[in-house]
């Protein structure tokens, strides 16, 4: 029987790369947070599979096409590979809010796709994002919620989270701070089983 993959779910815009109020519309506009690339490398090297989940309503709004989205993701894969990192898969929603789909975060459809693809429940799987909707989507399937203070998350610096955030949401400076905290916790958990 195959072992259950160790998953970490990560938002894209504002968490992995710099976001824009005007949308990230081209590979030229896609610019990673350098620390985020190293965060994924650390997670990978510790045996964790990273999956990206992202709303890409720019597709539905006609701001860019699939070829452009693929070019952005190819640039992302190259940047990750340059630091010895990779993401296993990218799950994206192409719809606008008006489409009332089930995959646009905060709806949980993309997370349901991950559960189906990996054949495992998402209870306790870390879900890292920079906005309330990122965390609500994963919380619906039992993910552990982690807010980063990059992108939209900067608005929550030095202030308490609203009651709308999932209970026990943890706050981290950025994706690298999350990775360091998470891997230290996992090391402590596994320490009891060390020889």
Q: How far apart are CA 99 and CA 102, in angstroms?
A: 9
Cross-strand bridge partners of residue 53 = 11, 91
Which residue carries 């975060």 as its tokens? Answer: 105
Neighbouring CB atoms inside 10 A of 44's CB total 20
For residue 159, count CB atoms less than 10 angstroms from its CB and return exposed for 0-12, middle for 13-18, buried for 19 or more: exposed
Has 158 been annotated as catalytic? no
Has 174 been annotated as catalytic? no
Looking at 11, 134, 139, 174, which residue is catalytic?
A: 11
Nearest to 129 by CA among 151, 161, 159, 158: 151
Question: DSSP string covering 48-69, please?
Answer: PEEEEEEE-HHHHTTSS-HHHH
Nearest to 148 by CA among 170, 125, 130, 166: 130
Looking at 13, 19, 134, 174, which residue is catalytic?
A: 13
Looking at the annotation, which residues are catalytic?
Answer: 11, 13
């Amino acid at each position: 029987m195959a072992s259950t993959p160790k998953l970490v779910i990560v938002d894209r815009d504002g968490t992995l790369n710099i976001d824009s109020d005007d949308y990230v519309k081209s590979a030229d506009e896609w610019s990673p947070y350098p620390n985020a690339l190293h965060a994924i490398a650390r997670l990978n090297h510790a045996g964790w599979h990273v999956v990206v989940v992202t709303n890409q309503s720019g597709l539905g709004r006609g701001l860019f096409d699939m070829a452009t989205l693929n070019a952005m993701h190819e640039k992302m894969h190259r940047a990750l590979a340059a630091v010895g990192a990779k993401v296993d898969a990218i799950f994206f929603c192409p719809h606008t809010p008006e489409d009332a789909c089930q995959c646009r975060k905060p709806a949980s459809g993309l997370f349901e796709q991950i559960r189906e693809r990996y054949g495992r429940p998402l209870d306790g799987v870390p879900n890292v994002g920079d906005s309330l909707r990122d965390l609500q989507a994963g919380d619906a399937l039992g993910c552990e919620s982690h807010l980063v203070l990059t992108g939209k998350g900067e608005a929550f610096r030095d202030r308490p989270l609203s009651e709308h955030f999932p209970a026990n949401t943890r706050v981290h400076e950025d994706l690298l701070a999350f990775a360091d905290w998470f891997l230290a916790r996992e090391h402590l958990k596994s320490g009891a089983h060390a020889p």
